């Protein structure tokens, strides 16, 4: 059992009773990275490119919908284009509760990693 001092938490962050799943974290991070151009296709491509994870389109759509329902994401419609058959894009941005939940989830992961042997410990560029 690892003892020692409690890990610090980011200011104003409390652990939510319903934490974020791994895909939810990846989706939130992808939306943050993409900024104004975040929609389902670009989110999926960003996760596949950066996290080297193959995920189905359906998984991305239901995760985006769920996160919006929870208030973690906001969506708006972009302009329709001919390449899309005249259909608009649904563009996403991260809302304040989403940022808070993401920070709490990442803090939790970091707290679990703290104190582990160096070969297991996480570093951003390992």
Partner 1 sequence: MSRSATLAERIAGFALPRGCREEILGDLLESGRGAGWLVRESVRIGVRYHGECYRDADDRLRIALLFALAAALVWIIPEATARTFGGTSLFTDPVTLAIVAMWRAAHLTSAAAAGLLLGRSALVASHASPSRAHVALGLIGLLFLLHPVRTALAASAALMLAAWIGTLARRSAEGGVSPDDSLSAG
The residues binding partner 1 (CB under 8 A) are 39-41, 56-59, 61-62, 65-66, 69, 77, 80-81, 83-85, 87-90
Q: Hey, which residues does 94 pair with through a beta bridge? A: 73
**Least CB distance from residue 27 to partner 1, whole Å?**
14
Q: Cβ(34)–Cβ(43) under 8 Å?
A: yes
Nearer to partner 1, 28 or 91 (CB): 91
Calculate the dihedral angle through the C-alpha atoms of 92, 42, 10, 1, rounding to the nearest 10 degrees.
Answer: 130
Nearer to partner 1, 69 or 125 (CB): 69
Residues 6 or more apart whose CB falls under 8 angstroms from that of 40 comprise 57, 60, 61, 64, 90
Nearer to partner 1, 21 or 115 (CB): 21
**Least CB distance from residue 61 to partner 1, whole Å?**
6
**Least CB distance from residue 62 to partner 1, whole Å?**
4
């Amino acid at each position: 059992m690892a003892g020692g001092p409690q890990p610090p938490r980011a200011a104003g962050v409390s652990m939510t009773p319903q934490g974020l799943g791994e895909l939810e974290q990846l989706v939130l991070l992808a939306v943050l990275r993409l900024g104004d151009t975040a929609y389902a296709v670009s989110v999926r491509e960003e996760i596949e490119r950066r996290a080297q994870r193959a995920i189905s389109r359906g998984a991305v759509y239901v995760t985006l919908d769920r996160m919006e329902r929870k208030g973690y994401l906001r969506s708006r419609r972009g302009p329709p284009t001919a390449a899309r058959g005249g259909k608009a894009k649904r563009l996403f941005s991260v809302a304040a509760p989403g940022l808070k939940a993401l920070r709490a989830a990442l803090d939790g992961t970091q707290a679990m990693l703290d104190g582990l042997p160096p070969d297991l410990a996480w570093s951003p560029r390992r």
